[in-house]
């Protein structure tokens, strides 16, 4: 909890405040969220919120850092050098997809930061998003060199992959209305992941290369 207190006497309360704040900031943004509503949703009081996090802006930063630490530990860890390039690439894609599937507020929080707070978004891009793009692109470059992948543009492939993965969750509410069913149910998300991996398999893997 980098932006909270160094010592947390009641970690369960702090976690509830973070979870409630994450939902409020995703829905209302930094300016629109109300600390009293966050405290009420967390079954805490405003005094505890300020005790652990100082103020609303620091709480907002703590929410972002909490999510991004989970992204880093679950997705951005360097892959084993023993893996094939395609295993590295699809490992990144699968890990990022699973992170988004289990953190539904993440896309909206990132979108808000991109539109509303350049300072916050700059450090997020530098420390977290850029390494993910670079990791994907390196895996593609390696796959081209080992002839596992077609001769595609590594950076463009990484950007396209990120866009296809993120956009599904960012637009899921709208798309659910369009198709007339909830696209965030477990079966719908599982079907989307299968379709995404199959699409990328046919888009980047060289015909005749060993299956992953």
What stretch of H or E contains 19? Answer: helix 11-32
The whole-number pLDDT of residue 209 equals 63
Residue with the larger pLDDT of the pair 200 and 115: 200
The whole-number pLDDT of residue 81 equals 86
Percent of the chain past pLDDT 90, that is, above it, reads: 75
157, burial (CB in 10 Å: exposed 0-12, middle 13-18, buried 19+):
buried
**Sequence-separated (6 or more) residues with CB below 8 Å from residue 161:** 93, 136, 200
The whole-number pLDDT of residue 207 equals 84
> What does the CA dihedral 187, 101, 197, 122 come to, rounded to 10 degrees?
160
The whole-number pLDDT of residue 211 equals 47
pLDDT digits (tens, 9 = 90+) for 4-51: 454 556 689 999 999 999 999 999 999 999 999 999 999 999 999 999
pTM of the shown model: 0.87
**Sequence-separated (6 or more) residues with CB below 8 Å from residue 92:** 75, 79, 132, 135, 136, 139
Domains in the chain, start-ordered, CATH in brackets?
Answer: 1-62 (1.10.10.60), 76-204 (1.10.357)
Determine contact, residues 149/204, Cβ cutoff 8 Å. yes
């Amino acid at each position: 909890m980098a932006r909270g207190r160094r010592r947390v006497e009641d970690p369960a309360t702090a976690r509830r405040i973070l979870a409630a704040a994450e939902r409020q900031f995703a829905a209302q943004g930094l300016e629109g969220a109300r600390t009293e509503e966050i405290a009420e949703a967390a079954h805490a009081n405003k005094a505890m919120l300020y005790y652990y996090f100082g103020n609303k802006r620091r709480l907002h930063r703590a929410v972002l850092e909490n999510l991004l630490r989970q992204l880093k530990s679950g997705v951005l860890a360097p892959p084993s050098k023993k893996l094939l390039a395609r295993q590295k690439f699809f490992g990144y894609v699968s890990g990022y997809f699973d992170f988004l599937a289990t953190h539904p507020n993440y896309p909206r929080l990132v979108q808000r930061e991109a539109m509303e707070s350049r300072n916050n978004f700059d450090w997020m891009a530098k420390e977290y998003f850029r390494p993910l793009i670079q990791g994907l692109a390196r895996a593609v470059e390696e796959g081209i060199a080992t002839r596992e992948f077609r001769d595609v543009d590594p950076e463009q492939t990484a950007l396209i992959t990120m866009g296809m993965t993120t956009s599904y969750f960012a637009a899921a509410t709208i798309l659910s209305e369009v198709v007339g069913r909830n696209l965030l149910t477990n079966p719908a998300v599982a079907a989307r992941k299968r379709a995404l991996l199959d699409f990328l398999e046919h888009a980047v893997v060289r015909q005749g290369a060993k299956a992953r």
